């Protein structure tokens, strides 16, 4: 999950090239992390915050762009961040 104060950014472009490497999930996560970093740099866009959660070490490629937690802590953090920005 990504919180931005500017424009929305669609990261689906990470998957325009077929993921053929096995196992696919870690390769897809790496592709997403790489694409997100490149797009943010290209647009000069730094998110307010970003969060991720999921099983195992395969989320490690996202460590530079998102805070890892579990589902409950992520939902709570998103709620707090959004509430802090409401008038």
- pLDDT tens digits along 12-53: 999 999 999 999 999 999 999 999 999 999 999 999 999 999
**Rounded Cα gap, residues 26 and 63, in angstroms:** 13
Apex CA 44: angle with CA 77 and CA 36, to 5°?
Answer: 60
The torsion angle over the Cα atoms of residues 57, 62, 68 and 70, rounded to 10 degrees, is -60
Decide if 38 contacts 67 (C-beta within 8 A). no
Q: Is residue 76 in some structural domain? A: yes
In a domain, residue 59? The reply is: yes
Q: What domain range is 66 assigned to? A: 20-85
Q: What six digits make up the tokens of 4?
A: 């931005």
The total domain count for the chain is 1
> Is residue 43 domain-resident?
yes
The model's pTM is 0.86
Domain assignment present for residue 61? The answer is yes
What are the backbone dihedrals phi and psi of residue 59, each rounded to the nearest 5 degrees, phi first? -85, 0
């Amino acid at each position: 999950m990504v919180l931005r104060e500017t424009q929305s950014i669609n990261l689906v472009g990470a998957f325009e090239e077929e993921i053929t490497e096995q196992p696919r999930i870690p390769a897809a996560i790496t592709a997403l992390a790489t694409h997100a970093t490149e797009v943010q740099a290209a647009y000069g866009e730094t998110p307010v915050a970003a969060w991720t959660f999921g099983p195992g070490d395969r989320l490690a490629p996202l460590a530079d762009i998102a805070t890892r937690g579990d589902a409950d802590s992520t939902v709570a953090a998103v709620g707090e961040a959004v509430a802090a920005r409401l008038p």
